[in-house]
């Protein structure tokens, strides 16, 4: 959300076995996982969101939008 150029859509749907969260933004850039430290050993600021999404969610998908930007959809189990 911080690097996506602004949220253009946000949706939550109840699905089996949990909730499906979809967030769209203006950026075509794909999310990346970065190391917590840079090449000089300095701790990076941020970069925690995508690894958290990938760890907690099932069926994570990133889809390009026809008008530009992307939609990230993740199913999060309720139990």
Q: Are strands 18-25 and 58-64 parallel, antiparallel or unpaired?
A: unpaired
Would you state the structure tokens that stand for residue 7, as one six-digit string? Answer: 């949220």
The CA distances from residue 36 to 4, 19, 42, 48, 51, in Å, are: 20, 29, 8, 9, 11
The pLDDT mean for the chain works out to 89
State the pLDDT at residue 1: 56
Query: pTM of the prediction?
Result: 0.81
Would you state the structure tokens that stand for residue 1, as one six-digit string? Answer: 């959300």
pLDDT < 70 positions in the chain = 1-3
């Amino acid at each position: 959300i911080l690097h996506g150029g602004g949220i253009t859509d946000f949706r939550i749907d109840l699905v089996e076995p949990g909730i499906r969260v979809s967030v769209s933004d203006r950026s075509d850039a794909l999310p990346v996982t970065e190391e917590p430290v840079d090449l000089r050993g300095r701790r990076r600021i941020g970069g925690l969101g995508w690894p958290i999404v990938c760890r907690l969610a099932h069926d994570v998908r990133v889809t390009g939008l026809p008008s530009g930007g992307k939609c990230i959809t993740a199913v999060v189990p309720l139990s």
